[in-house]
Amino acid sequence: MKIAVVGSGYVGLVAGACLAENGNEVVCVDKDPAKIRLLQRGKIPIYEPGLEELVRRNRSEKRLTFTTALERGVRNAQIIFIAVGTPTGEDGSADLQHVLAVARDTARAMNVYKVIVNKSTVPVGTAAKVRDVVRRETTHPFSVVSNPEFLKQGAAIEDFMKPDRVVIGAEDPRGAELMKELYAPFTRTGAPIMLMDCASAELCKYAANAMLATRISFMNEVANVCESVGADVDQVRRAVAADRRIGPSFLFPGIGYGGSCFPKDVKAMLRFAAEKSYKFAILDAVEAVNDRQKLRLLTKLQTQFGSLKGKQIALWGLAFKPRTDDMREAPSVPLIQGLLAGGASVHAYDPEAMKVARSLFGSKISYADNSYTALTGADALVIVTEWNEFREPDFARMRKLLRNPIIFDGRNLYNPEQIRAHGFTYISIGRP
Ligand SMILES: NC(=O)c1ccc[n+]([C@@H]2O[C@H](COP(=O)([O-])OP(=O)(O)OC[C@H]3O[C@@H](n4cnc5c(N)ncnc54)[C@H](O)[C@@H]3O)[C@@H](O)[C@H]2O)c1
């Protein structure tokens, strides 16, 4: 099929590359000319494992092209995906200006029947708004479909190629049938294609992210209680996770969730529930707990040192999670701000997010070439992101480099007994 994907960020680029990989002819559109120039030269503006190779292959086989010219992209395509950002607006709601602008421009460019698919995460009622915008701008027939994306950054290709499910919200059979055809190759392993109305499809994505955020905040609260009563959250988690009604996913305590989705989607769901006079009390708490948890390590550092003034802190990990360079809403950000406000200096290392960190913090912090150089002369090491390379480091080398052998571990990477046997003071989350 001929497809246009408007918005070439994490979702649009992955969707475009994966759709091309299955034989479709895809044009990725973005309004950012620098991004498109980069993509046309075969370079990838983000870090996502496997994406560069996928883009390169499909580009060279001429199934994947890039342009800033939305009109041309739309005219040649049967299906147009909207995959632009829906950031948090001033009042906490999802800002739909980019989605509606693309809907309007798409409508103006239409020449024959098209399926307009909303892949961005949008509140209930957006499909109806898109339909209204398009109807105002064109007399050509069209279908509007809601197709929320569930991929995880860091495993985005795998998630898109082998989804747990594909959700398609459609109000007419023509659009639904084309979407089922498009997704058939991605669901050969038996994953269901779930057809439903647009409102339910739109809500699915928020409900799923809200549930995952709730599990994280819940377990972070359990970890904090463990610290108060002298229990070990590792043991508690294992026992809880063994219950088949609960299962093991998303039960690891840490220093809060971040990224471009959970914080924004929790806020948006709270907001659109409130607009219908519904107070989503659990989500209110999930958000408050997460904000507090992001500062948990800072509090522990203050307790340990009294004052942070003049302390040199080594930081391992800046991205909001491993296998991405994304620092949107990352716990590292308020932590660094708190350390700097307390008078500490920060020497940071992340395998992928250094460039992004430089754009955020400039010369306010310093950047290490590798994980070990970050430690030289530091008063403590703080672990923020659970990159694999931090899991089995050379502890003897670390001890030599650090001024004080203290580790604050926000991701519970090490066995407390073993690391203490290496001569470290070790402070983690929810464990004695
Ligand atoms: N990042 C994720 O893991 C993820 C997962 C599932 C769903 N989502 C949702 O998908 C949507 C996109 O997220 P993202 O992370 O890919 O965003 P992003 O910020 O990485 O990319 C959005 C892109 O859209 C482009 N854009 C904005 N307005 C445009 C316009 N009028 N015309 C053409 N291009 C335009 C921007 O230049 C940018 O490149 C959001 O609603 C998000 O909530 C994201």
Per residue in 72-127, pLDDT tens? Answer: 999 999 999 999 999 999 888 999 999 999 999 999 999 999 999 999 999 999 99
243 CB neighbour count, 10 Å cutoff:
9
pLDDT for res 90:
87
151 lines ligand 1 (CB under 6 A): yes
Chain segment 236-266, per-residue pLDDT in tens: 999 999 999 999 999 999 999 999 899 999 9
Mutate to test the pocket of ligand 1, among 260, 325, 326 (most ligand atoms within 8 A of CB): 260
Q: Could you give the CA distance from residue 53 to residue 341 in angstroms, rounded to a whole number? A: 42
Catalytic site residue 28? no
* CA-152 nearest atom, ligand 1: 3
161 lines ligand 1 (CB under 6 A): no
Q: Angle between the 10-21 and 51-60 helix axes, to the nearest 10 degrees?
A: 50
Mutate to test the pocket of ligand 1, among 11, 151, 159 (most ligand atoms within 8 A of CB): 11
pLDDT for res 260:
87
Contact 75, 111 (CB under 8 A): yes
CA of 12 to the centre of ligand 1 (A): 7
pLDDT for res 92:
87
Residues ≥6 apart with Cβ < 8 Å to 65:
26, 27, 28, 59
> Atom 10 of ligand 1 has which residue's CA nearest to it?
120
Q: Extract the residue ranges of the chain whose pLDDT is less than 50.
A: none
pLDDT for res 141:
97
Backbone angles phi, psi at 380, to 5 degrees: -165, 155
Backbone angles phi, psi at 38, to 5 degrees: -60, -50
* Strand duo 345-349 + 366-367: pairing: parallel
3-state class (DSSP) for residue 158? helix
Strand ranges across the sheet with 406-409? 366-367, 345-349, 312-316, 380-383, 406-409, 425-427
Contact 69, 175 (CB under 8 A): no
102 lines ligand 1 (CB under 6 A): yes
> Atom 18 of ligand 1 has which residue's CA nearest to it?
9
84 lines ligand 1 (CB under 6 A): yes
Supply the mean pLDDT for the chain: 97
Instruction: Please give the angle made by the CA atoms of 343, 422 and 239, to the nearest 5 degrees.
Output: 90
Q: Torsion angle of alpha carbons 279, 281, 286, 289, nearest 10°?
A: 110
9 lines ligand 1 (CB under 6 A): yes
CA of 41 to the centre of ligand 1 (A): 21
Q: Could you give the CA distance from residue 136 to residue 150 in angstroms, rounded to a whole number? A: 31
